[in-house]
Structure 1
Amino acid sequence: MAETKNKKIPIYAVIFTVVFKLLFLLTHYIQEDAFITWRVAQNLLDYGVIGFNGNTKISASTTHLYVLVSYLFNAVFGKENFIEPLLIFNSILFTMGSLLLSHLVLKNVWHKAIFIFLIGILPPAIKISILGMEYGILFCLEMALLYYGFHKGKKWAFIVLPILILFTRIDTVIFLGIVFLVDIFWIKKIRWTYILGGILGVSTALTFNWFYFGEIVNNTIVAKKLAYDRHFTFEQNLDYFRLNFGNFWGMLKLPGDFNPLTILLLIFELLCFIYLVRQREKRNYFLWMIFIFGWVKQLIFLSQKSLFDWYYWVPQILLFVPVLIFVLEQKVKRNLWLALLIVVYIIPMLAFQTIHSIATGNGEWNYRRTIGTFLNQYEKDKNQWIFLEPAGYVPYFSGLKTIDEVGLVDKKVQEEIKKDKPNFWINTIKNRKPKYLLSYDDLFISKDAEYLKAHYKLIKEFRVKDHLKSDNKILEKIYILKPSGTDYNLYEKID
């Protein structure tokens, strides 16, 4: 009986961790891109089409599986009430993934419980759980593959899970590939079932793209590459990498080009990893998988100038795993090591993320969302178009048809970029004539001011400074300490 009760301790840790993180739902910190996925899901609900604007098919979201999950939550809970249940679901899945990971790298049930909680309150783990992105599902699926496939030897896991993983994000081929290579090196033979699962996963994702959207690669990937493509020399690429890796490799970003905290963390992670793999333990098999993946994923995406935070959340967590194992398994003065880790690192990181979530939640939910709700009341004809960037909060809450400047939700923008990239923005306006323009800039002093003054009028200015007040003085201090958001000008067509 006592042994059975002890085995449940990690499960209790999962429940406690999920409940603890629910407090972050109060911050309303939801990533802009989550609303793109959710609008795609609602478009599927309303029009029966995976798209963004009516019955036009487009892979505007990076993730197909999460679109379908979001669709189900919209259908069950309704458009007004699905967000909180879905965020709780994401948090549960991520924490279940950390439970499976704990089974792979630890033996003691109390170590597992502490591991689950401490992993769960790291900044990237909090963001995975509450920002509305697909990484809660993804982390759970990836850890399930390692646990049920490579630990338990379940053949179904080698077939089913790669399909679900690749249908969530196509770039997970990096994870699947690293796991495959480490496995071959470790067991000196090929798991043909896993190869079959990988082939089925890639072919399922690409076939779906081809037959449904008429494309091989997701539109989001094509659009970002086209919009953000810049030709750098080798020296410029190295300099770009140097300027950015410090703010994406660790747990937090700091102002400026040099982040000493990331350097120190990187060195400590490496030292802990080297210490652990020198020991003869079966878990080294999984430590090599997750640590190499963390390094490779970071290097690939940073070298490709992919500077969206969410690409780095899972690697950041997995690279930190050796640190927790090292501290938890200290034979001498373990409690001192653990106390130092918690006081010197975990608590400051949690405090930083709390402040960041409150401030950014204010800038996104209390500020940017109001632009969408204003337009929702101002413009009753939801067939009217708005041209803006980005395509998250404002399109979602306004309900208007949308052209975004990157071309994530509208392919015609990509055609304009291909024809004349320096002038694609004004050419899109002249050719498409959207009723509304939302811009960071004062368009009436831009190089195209003459045309814009003749055809558009400024109807409202949205300013971040107007949203830095609160009846709660502590919240107000946080808002002022870290103002979040961008000033916008809203223009309406006059002819």
Structure 2
Amino acid sequence: MTESKNSKIPIYAVIFTVVFKLLFLLTRYIQEDSFITWRVAQNLLDYGVIGFNGNTKISASTTHLYVFVSYLFNLIFGKENFIVPILIFNSLLFTIGSLFLSHLVLKNPWHKAVFIFLLGVLPPSIKISILGMEYGLLFFLEMALLYYGFRKHKTWALIVLPVLILFTRIDTAIFLGIVFLVDTYFNRRLRVKYILGGILGISVALAFNWLYFGELINNTIVAKKLLYDHNFTTQQNIEYFTSNYGNFWGMLKLPGNFNPLTIVILLFELLCFIYLIRQKEKRNYFLWMIFLFGWTKQIIFISQKSLFDWYYWVPQLLLFVPVLIFVLEQKVKRNWWLSLLILFYILPMLAFQTIHSIATGNGEWNYRRKMGLFLGNYEKDKNQWIFLEPAGYIPYFSGLKTIDEVGLVDKQIQEEIKKDKKNYWINTVKNRKPKYLLSYQDLFEGENAEYYKAHYKILKEFRVKDYIKSDNKILEKIYKLKPSGTDYNLYERLKD
């Protein structure tokens, strides 16, 4: 009876962790790119087309499977009410994924429960859960593959889950590849069913892209590569790495080019990993998978100069797993080790993420969203175009057709970038004559100022300083401590 009751403790931990993290919904911190995915889902709902602007097909979202999930949530709850349910759903999926992971690396139910909670309140876990992106779904699928496919040896998991994983994000080929290599090395044989699942997954993802969009690679990948392509010298590569490595491997972004905390964390993670794999436990099989994947994913994306921090959330967590196991399984002074970890790492990280979420949520929801609402109320004709960057909050809440600077949601601009990368912005404005321009810069000053003055008027200036005020003095201090957002100028085209 006691054993049966103890086996449910990790389940209770899942419920408690999800409920605890729901507090972060109050911060209204939702990632800009989530609104791109959700608008694609709503475009599918309204026009029957996976796109962003009416009936034009485009893979504007990085993730296909999450688009369909978002579509279902819009269908069930409606456009006005789906956001909170899907954020809760994402948090639940992530935490169930951490439950699967705990089964792979721990035996004691109480250890699993503490592991689930502590892993769940780290900054990347909070962001995965409540920022609205596809990583809750992805983490769930990846951990389900390890648990059901490689722990329980379920054939369906080895074949079906790789398909779903690759249909969520094509770059998950890195995860599937590392799992394949470690499994082959440990078992000294090829797992044919898993190979079949991988082949099916790649085939489904590429075939869907080709048959529906007429392209093999997602437009988002092509667009980012086209605009962000840089030819760096060796010295520039070194400077780039030293100024960014802390943001990638660490769990928080600190100013400056040297982040000693990240180095300490990395070394401790590595030492804990070495300590654990020397124990010759069965779980080493899974520890090698997640640890090698964490390092490989980080190195590949850093080498490609991928600045977006969400690429590193899952690797950050998986690299930290050996630390949690090491602390939880200490037979001498375990409570002392656990207290030190919570006091000097978990709580500061939780406090940091709380402040970050409140400040960024203010900048995104109270500032950028209101820009979209203003424009949506001002312009009733939703067939008018706006040219801006980024393509999240403002297009979503304004409802206008959108050209984004990168070309994520509009392919035509990519042709302008190919023809004349230096002048593609002004060329797009001249050729397509969007009714609205939203810019970080004052367009009435600079090289093309005369053209803008002749064809556009400034409609409204949006300033971050106007949104870092609050009647609540604590919130105001947080807003001023970490002001979030960028000053914008909104321009409207003059009548010809």
Range of TM-score over shorter length: over 0.9
1:247, distance to aligned residue in structure 2 (A): 1.8
Cα RMSD (Å): 0.6
In structure 1, what is the equivalent of residue 490 of structure 2?
490
Which SS does the other structure have where 1:459 is aligned?
strand
* Partner deviation per Cα, 1:56-111 (whole Å, 9 max, x = no partner): 00000000000000000000000000000000000000000000000000000000
User: What is the deviation of 1:166?
Assistant: 0.1
Question: Does the aligned pair in 1 maintain the 2:41–2:67 contact within 8 Å?
Answer: yes
* Pairing 1:112-127 to 2, within 5 Å after superposition: 112-127=112-127
Structure 1: tracts of 5 or more residues without a match = none
| CA displacement, residues 241-287 of structure 1 (integer Å, 9 cap, x when unaligned) | 22211221011010111111111100000000000001110000000
CA displacement at 1:238 relative to structure 2: 3.1
User: What amino acid does structure 2 have at the position aligned with 1:249?
Assistant: W
**Which residue of structure 1 aligns with residue 366 of structure 2?**
366
Q: Report the equivalent of 1:183.
A: 183
Residue in 2 that maps onto 1:427 = 427
CA distance in 2, matches of 1:475, 1:243: 30
Q: TM-score, normalised by structure 2?
A: 0.99
Q: Percent identity?
A: 81
Partner of 2:36: 36
Aligned residue in 2 for 1:192? 192
Which amino acid letter does the alignment assign opposite residue 260 of structure 2? Answer: P
Matching residue of 2:380: 380
Deviation digits for residues 107-147 of structure 1 (CA, Å, limit 9, x no counterpart): 00000000000000000000000000000000000000000
Question: What is the deviation of 1:236?
Answer: 2.4
Please say which of residues 168-177 and 442-451 is displaced more in the overlay: 442-451
Residue of structure 2 equivalent to 1:110? 110
Is the contact between residue 149 and residue 158 of structure 2 (CA under 8 Å) also seen in structure 1? yes
Q: Map 1:305-344; keep pairs closer than 5 Å.
A: 305-344=305-344
Q: Distance in 2 between matches of 1:302 and 1:284?
A: 27
Distance between the aligned counterparts of 1:449 and 1:237, measured in 2? 35
- Counterpart code for 2:156: W
Code of the aligned partner of 1:144: A
Q: Distance in 2 between matches of 1:203 and 1:468?
A: 49
Which residue does the alignment assign to 1:15?
15
Q: What letter is aligned with 1:223?
A: A
Runs (5+) with no aligned partner, structure 2: none
- Cα distance in 2, alignment partners of residues 318 and 292 from structure 1: 9
Give the distance between the partners of 1:392 and 1:346, measured in 2 at CA.
31
SS in 1 for 2:444: helix
CA distance in 2: counterparts of 1:103 and 1:214, whole angstroms: 42
The CA distance in 1 between the partners of 2:401 and 2:194, in whole Å, is 43
* Contact 2:39–2:52 (Cα < 8 Å) also in 1: yes
Question: Counterpart of 1:355 in structure 2: which amino acid?
Answer: I
How many Å separate the matches in 1 of 2:128 and 2:97? 12
- Give the Å deviation of 1:240: 1.5
Q: Which residue matches 2:48?
A: 48
Matched letter for residue 356 of structure 1: H
- 1:20 and 1:406 map into 2 onto residues whose CA distance is 37
Partner of 1:398: 398
CA offset digits 1:328-350 (Å, max 9, x no partner): 00011000000000000000000
Question: Residue 174 of structure 1: SS of its match in structure 2?
Answer: helix
Q: How does 1:222-261 map to 2 (within 5 A)?
A: 222-261=222-261
Q: Which residue of 1 aligns with 2:357?
A: 357
Q: Counterpart of 2:491 in 1: which secondary structure? A: strand
- Name the SS of the counterpart of 1:489 in structure 2: strand
Q: Distance in 1 between matches of 2:103 and 2:242?
A: 36
CA distance in 2, matches of 1:399, 1:357: 26
In 2, Cα distance between equivalents of 1:377 and 1:100: 46
Rounded to whole Å, the distance in 1 between the matches of 2:385 and 2:248 is 36
The CA deviation string for residues 29-57 of structure 1, in whole angstroms up to 9 with x for no partner, is 00000000000000000000000000000
Q: Check conservation: 2:247, 2:309, Cα contact below 8 A.
A: no
Q: Where does residue 282 of structure 2 map in the other structure?
A: 282
* One-letter identity of the residue aligned with 2:79: K
Partner of 1:203: 203
Name the residue aligned to 1:96. Answer: 96
One-letter amino acid of the structure 1 residue matched with residue 313 of structure 2: W
- CA displacement at 1:472 relative to structure 2: 1.1
The match for 1:2 is 2
2:70 corresponds in structure 1 to 70
Deviation at 1:3, TM superposition (A): 1.3
Q: 2-side partners of 1:213 and 1:237: how far apart?
A: 35
> Counterpart amino acid of 1:78?
G
Query: Alpha-carbon deviation of 1:446?
Result: 2.1
Deviation at 1:396, TM superposition (A): 0.1
